[in-house]
Amino acid sequence: MRKDYLKSVLRQDVGYFDTQTGTSATYQVVSTISSDVNSIQDVLSEKIPNFLAHLTSFAACLILAFVLSWRLALASLPFTLMFIIPGIVFGSLLMKRGAKMKSAYGVAGGIAEQAVSSIRTVFSYVAELETLERFSHELQESMEIGIKQGFTKGLMIGSMGMIFATWAFLSWVGSVLVIRRGDNGGPIFIAGICIILRFSRLLLQTLFP
């Protein structure tokens, strides 16, 4: 894959490299070969197996909960949206900010690579301070994006508190089913545990895909 990517870059016209303003084409090629390919490898070796594991566990817990107490499982279905929507919203925000941070780091790395590779020219034009200011400006942008990204991750992790609200609701519904409808408490309790495990798997998949 790295070989094919490098071949694709080398087949580009010279004008392609002239349009890479603010960064170095050499730096972009090297960083992309190392980072993007590692990301693809991480998806194939870790993300997809984890997704299949969470999906299988989610389906098994859902089926078992309906078998043990379909009323309790049916009452918990609306809570599914409370776990899916935050994951989708926060996940999209993290992806956008991650792309912006990567771009900002790429520009900063390009400035540093150009300065080091042309250090004689930098010294001859006394451009050390200007280069340092440009580099610091790009790092400042990436730092601001990183702070926003950390705040978003904090909100995502904080949304895991919905599990406690769901468990409280299931406890109340289960007590109503036992007291008023005469259902057996054992299957109700096990069904509640299965539902919580189902939501936990769903939350882990949406928050940490």
How much is the pLDDT for 206?
A: 59
State mean pLDDT over 45-74: 83
pLDDT band of residue 27 (cuts 50, 70, 90) is low
C-beta atoms surrounding 142 within 10 Å:
19
Q: Judge whether residue 18 has pLDDT over 70.
A: no
pTM: 0.62
* 143-165 per-position pLDDT tens digit: 888 888 888 888 877 777 777 88
Residues 209, 88 contacting (CB under 8 angstroms): no
How much is the pLDDT for 23?
A: 46
Looking at domain 69-207, which CATH architecture does it have? Up-down Bundle (1.20)
Q: Judge whether residue 31 has pLDDT over 70.
A: no
- CA end-to-end span of the chain, whole Å? 23
- Among 207, 206, 195, which Cα is nearest to 59's? 195
Q: Judge whether residue 195 has pLDDT over 80.
A: yes
Start and end residues for every CATH 1.20.1560.10 domain found in the chain: 69-207
* 72-100 per-position pLDDT tens digit: 888 888 887 777 777 778 778 878 887 78
Question: Measured at the alpha carbon of residue 80, what is the angle toward residues 159 and 57, in degrees to the nearest 5?
Answer: 95
Mean pLDDT of the chain: 77
Token pair 């490299």 in the structure block, residue: 17
Distance between CA 132 and CA 111 in Å, rounded? 9
How much is the pLDDT for 87?
A: 73
How much is the pLDDT for 130?
A: 84
Token pair 């107490």 in the structure block, residue: 69
- Among 26, 34, 27, which Cα is nearest to 2's? 34
Residues 23, 109 contacting (CB under 8 angstroms): yes
Residue 84 CB contacts under 8 Å (≥ 6 apart), including other chains: 202, 206
Token pair 């792309």 in the structure block, residue: 99
- Indicate the DSSP class of residue 106: H
Q: Judge whether residue 12 has pLDDT over 80.
A: no
